[in-house]
A and B are shown apart, each in its own frame.
Chain A
Amino acid sequence: MDFSPKAYFHKHTEAAPLAVFRIFFGIMMLISIIRFWSYGWIDKLYIQPGFFFSYFGFDFVKPLGIYTYVIFAICGISALMVALGFKYRLAIITFFLSFTYIELMDKTTYLNHYYFISLLSFLMIFLPAHAYFSVDAWRKRKSFQQIPVWTIDVVKLLLGIVYFYAGLAKLNSDWLLKAMPLKIWLPSKYSIPLLGDLMQQEWIHYTFSYFGAVYDLTIPFLLLYKRTRIIAFVFVVAFHVLTRVLFPIGMFPYIMIVSTLIFFDANIHHKILGVIAKMIKINKEVFDTGKSWIGNQVRSRISVVLLSVFFAIQLLLPFRYWLYPGELFWTEEGFRFSWRVMLMEKAGYANFKIVDGQTGKRFYVDNDDFLTAFQQKQMATQPDFILQYAHYLKQHFENQGHQNVEIYVESYVALNGRLSSPYIDPNVDLGKQKESFKHKTWIIPFKDEIKGL
């Protein structure tokens, strides 16, 4: 056996797992888009609000009014094309761009799951997921049964990072020593059949906390190791279904369940494809050519370099919070894009005061006039939201003819069951503060301490 990197990148394996992954990914995305649309969320989240919170540097990405539906339609159609493996590269690039555009429109809706989908679809641009069992392969009569092993391993690596980093993030004193925030969330699930009363028990809160942390940290390895794979998958299903029962997390559990199938050997995937072939009445054997995907060597090399950089960023980005002073959960500087999932119960209240810097006359803003309830909720606990909203208010009231507009906020935040305490320095004119990646000095430091990663 040759374990040198060069040999690794030339090693081939069955293409079936990646084909199955592509099909399920595409279908799941299509269902997600349809579900999102049918719930009226496009209108509610992207058309009705008068103001949208941008990511720093992406101010130009905005909903397009009624045409926002077109972006979703494009996203849904490209997801279907991905599932079919029809004009795959075009489809996956379109999907990545449209999906990411949607996510960038308003950071109010940020979810780690959505970020995961963006990353995964970006990664898939570089993978020959259409080499086998795809419309492309069938149309061109060029099916490849073998693909480079790295093109499957990168998907496993990304999934592994998501789980492992989510597990690392749970290694903190709130999660392990106080069973927070589960101690807040679980008792409110009193009405769930069978489990409702259990959810009131303190030992359950701790058991769930520890199980969650151990699960996240170990599941990638248990899935990689053949002898533990089946039991690991049972845990995957049980874990995600339980989270689905307890929390409103939409499609994500199902996406993770089907994604982890990629860890299994090719014979399972051949069986799955066999079932699909039977369902849509095609002959699977036309794809079983035994041929190996070679691809364009130069492009392949560029892909490897690009993806190496991609993964280096993935491994480092969650630790960027070390560059900021203060408690991460409190300031949220470096919180997003780090697989910090379900770690906090955070609620806030932000009351904005508009002051005429010369006369001292002041009045308060009714946030209902500018933001939806969802936006208000997200805004009140995240400093970058508060700043952007303050800038918007300043502009708004200046346009109305107010003079010497200064913006102050009286805000309170409660984190993981602690009593609310002042959040933003009420004496700082937010109109004068600039957004940047630097530490926001006007956040009042956290009064308590949360130890851990």
Chain B
Amino acid sequence: MKKLLGSFFVLMLLASACSTSDDGGEAGGDSFDRAAMLVNFADNIIIPSLQKFSTDITALDQATTAFTADANETNLLALRTAWSNAYLSWQAVGMFEIGKAEELSYRNFMNVFPVNAGNIDANITSESYDLGAVAAQDEQGFGALDYMINGLATADADIVAFYTDATNGSKYISYLTDLVDRMNNLTTEVLADWNGDYRATFVGNSGSSATSSVDKIANDFIFHYEKHLRAGKVGIPAGVFGTQTFDDKVEAFYKGDFSKALFNANLDAMQDFFNGKHFGSNATGESFKTYLDFLNTIKEGEDLAEIINNQFNLSRTTASGLDDSFTEQVRSNNNLMLNTYDELQKNVVHLKVDMLQAFSVRVDFVDADGD
């Protein structure tokens, strides 16, 4: 008996020791197929969005080359269009700060705003800068391009003049080229990783540990929603976190009338991701929404997915009354900005509290023992 007890004890200890490993089990039967959800995320949303963005970045690169070869107002306009297109498609990409993107701090090197115009000017003049430095994140990316093609002067002719200037023109050209090269290189690297090994890693890591893809992508999604969409694009300019408003801390500040379009693009992309909507098509696949629906068949609670979608829609409706330029909106009637913020805020609660509870996913997983 004692021997039996002993071997039983050892067996159980072994079982528990093994359990800490986490290598994505097979989901089957009548349970939700999380691996299928990850496949949908990767193949139908993340990779296609990145490919589209990469194409737009290439176009931006070509427009930059054309402009630097021949700096005139026509080429500036073409460059601006390429920049706008890429900036819009970026809104469907920035939230996927996972894998290579996380490793590179892709989002922060691509789109920190407001940028530091003083530092950018200094970089151009001194010709000594390291765009790879974290401290230089607000001297590059879409915001820095915004300054370079929209913010140097009011009239287009005066902007072009910076690049044709006999003494300093070449410095502006090389900084502009460096900015676009860096964005191009980062994007190529991120996309290459997804096209290479990372897709399999992402899809295969379908377990339930804190480092599993489901946990990470859920946390990344909420982080982006809270910090970048809610706070970055709306809350901070509206002065939610300080005692005054900041009309200069909006996205695409120098362009002026573009901040609302970027906000809407990001809001749409986030809701589409939530619903598992394929990029560039109306088809849908397994997603947070269908996962919530599945869990609700066990729990029989309120329809959380519907509540979240309604709140997304309400945020969009409220934001539709905003000026194309959030700078203008903050100056003329900040209350409308605050109303939009309030609607966005409500979904933070649904996503971060209710959805994560339903998924049993920890917020920014804390590595400590539980009861």
A in complex with B: yes
Asked whether, in the complex, the Cβ of A190 is within 8 Å of the Cβ of B299, the reply is no
Q: Which residues A380-429 have CB closer than 8 A to chain B?
A: 412-414, 417-420
Asked whether, in the complex, the Cβ of B348 is within 8 Å of the Cβ of A253, the reply is no
Residues of A within 8 A of B27 (CB): 190, 196-197
Q: Is A112 an interface residue (CB 8 A)?
A: yes
Asked whether, in the complex, the Cβ of B12 is within 8 Å of the Cβ of A364, the reply is no
Q: Is B153 an interface residue (CB 8 A)?
A: no
Q: Is B103 an interface residue (CB 8 A)?
A: no
Instruction: Mark B11-27 against chain A: 1 for CB-CB distance below 8 A, else 0.
Output: 01101101100111111
A219 to chain B, nearest CB (A): 16
Q: What separation, in Å, do the CA atoms of A39 and B356 have in the docked complex?
A: 26
Q: What separation, in Å, do the CA atoms of A347 and B364 have in the docked complex?
A: 13
Q: What separation, in Å, do the CA atoms of A238 and B9 have in the docked complex?
A: 8
Q: What separation, in Å, do the CA atoms of A183 and B363 have in the docked complex?
A: 19
The stretch of A69-77, A149-157, A244-252 that contacts the partner chain: A244-252
Nearest residue in A to B307 (C-beta to C-beta)? A419
Q: Is A300 an interface residue (CB 8 A)?
A: no
B309 to chain A, nearest CB (A): 15
Asked whether, in the complex, the Cβ of A364 is within 8 Å of the Cβ of B352, the reply is no
Q: What separation, in Å, do the CA atoms of A112 and B369 have in the docked complex?
A: 11
Asked whether, in the complex, the Cβ of A184 is within 8 Å of the Cβ of B366, the reply is no
Q: What separation, in Å, do the CA atoms of A192 and B24 have in the docked complex?
A: 8
* Binding site secondary structure of chain B: loop
Q: Is A45 an interface residue (CB 8 A)?
A: yes
B18 to chain A, nearest CB (A): 7
Instruction: Mark A320-360 against chain B: 1 for CB-CB distance below 8 A, else 0.
Output: 00000000000000000000011001011101000000000
Nearest residue in B to A179 (C-beta to C-beta)? B298
Asked whether, in the complex, the Cβ of A237 is within 8 Å of the Cβ of B12, the reply is yes
Asked whether, in the complex, the Cβ of A113 is within 8 Å of the Cβ of B371, the reply is yes
Asked whether, in the complex, the Cβ of A200 is within 8 Å of the Cβ of B367, the reply is no
Residues of A within 8 A of B29 (CB): 197, 200
Q: Is B295 an interface residue (CB 8 A)?
A: yes
Asked whether, in the complex, the Cβ of B8 is within 8 Å of the Cβ of A364, the reply is no
Q: Is A450 an interface residue (CB 8 A)?
A: no
Residues of B within 8 A of A361 (CB): 243
Q: Which residues B181-222 have CB closer than 8 A to chain A?
A: 206-209, 212
A340 to chain B, nearest CB (A): 9
Q: What separation, in Å, do the CA atoms of A247 and B16 have in the docked complex?
A: 11
Q: What separation, in Å, do the CA atoms of A116 and B26 have in the docked complex?
A: 38
Residues of A within 8 A of B353 (CB): 347-349, 412-414, 420
Q: What separation, in Å, do the CA atoms of A361 and B12 have in the docked complex?
A: 60
A267 to chain B, nearest CB (A): 11
B108 to chain A, nearest CB (A): 16
Asked whether, in the complex, the Cβ of A244 is within 8 Å of the Cβ of B19, the reply is yes
Asked whether, in the complex, the Cβ of A109 is within 8 Å of the Cβ of B354, the reply is no
Q: What separation, in Å, do the CA atoms of A185 and B33 have in the docked complex?
A: 17
Q: What separation, in Å, do the CA atoms of A269 and B353 have in the docked complex?
A: 49
B56 to chain A, nearest CB (A): 32
Residues of B within 8 A of A419 (CB): 301-302, 304, 307, 354
Q: Is A50 an interface residue (CB 8 A)?
A: no
Residues of B within 8 A of A365 (CB): 241
Asked whether, in the complex, the Cβ of A193 is within 8 Å of the Cβ of B295, the reply is no
Q: What separation, in Å, do the CA atoms of A205 and B295 have in the docked complex?
A: 13
Q: Is A111 an interface residue (CB 8 A)?
A: yes
Q: Is B28 an interface residue (CB 8 A)?
A: yes
Instruction: Mark B224-258 against chain A: 1 for CB-CB distance below 8 A, else 0.
Output: 00000000000100011111000000000000000
B258 to chain A, nearest CB (A): 26
A45 to chain B, nearest CB (A): 7
With A191-B212, A200-B31, A248-B370: A184-B357 Cβ-Cβ less than 8 Å: yes
Q: Is B360 an interface residue (CB 8 A)?
A: yes
Select which of A111, A192, A233, A363 is within 8 A of B242 by beta carbon: A363
Q: Is B51 an interface residue (CB 8 A)?
A: no
Asked whether, in the complex, the Cβ of A111 is within 8 Å of the Cβ of B352, the reply is no
Instruction: Mark B290-319 against chain A: 1 for CB-CB distance below 8 A, else 0.
Output: 000001001101101001000000000000
B305 to chain A, nearest CB (A): 12
Select which of A184, A248, A413, A418 is within 8 A of B369 by beta carbon: A248
With A196-B27, A374-B366: A191-B207 Cβ-Cβ less than 8 Å: yes
Q: Is B277 an interface residue (CB 8 A)?
A: no
* Chain A to chain B contacts (Cβ below 8 Å), 18 pairs: A111-B370, A113-B371, A183-B298, A189-B208, A190-B31, A196-B31, A244-B19, A245-B19, A363-B241, A363-B243, A364-B235, A364-B240, A366-B241, A377-B362, A377-B366, A412-B353, A417-B301, A419-B301
Q: Which residues of A contact B (CB under 8 A)?
A: 39, 41, 44-45, 109, 111-113, 183-185, 187-193, 196-197, 200, 202, 205, 230, 233-234, 237-238, 241, 244-245, 247-253, 341-342, 345, 347-349, 351, 361, 363-366, 372-374, 376-377, 412-414, 417-420
Q: Which residues of B contact A (CB under 8 A)?
A: 1, 5, 8-9, 12-13, 15-16, 18-19, 22-32, 34, 206-209, 212, 235, 239-243, 295, 298-299, 301-302, 304, 307, 345, 348-350, 352-354, 356-364, 366-371
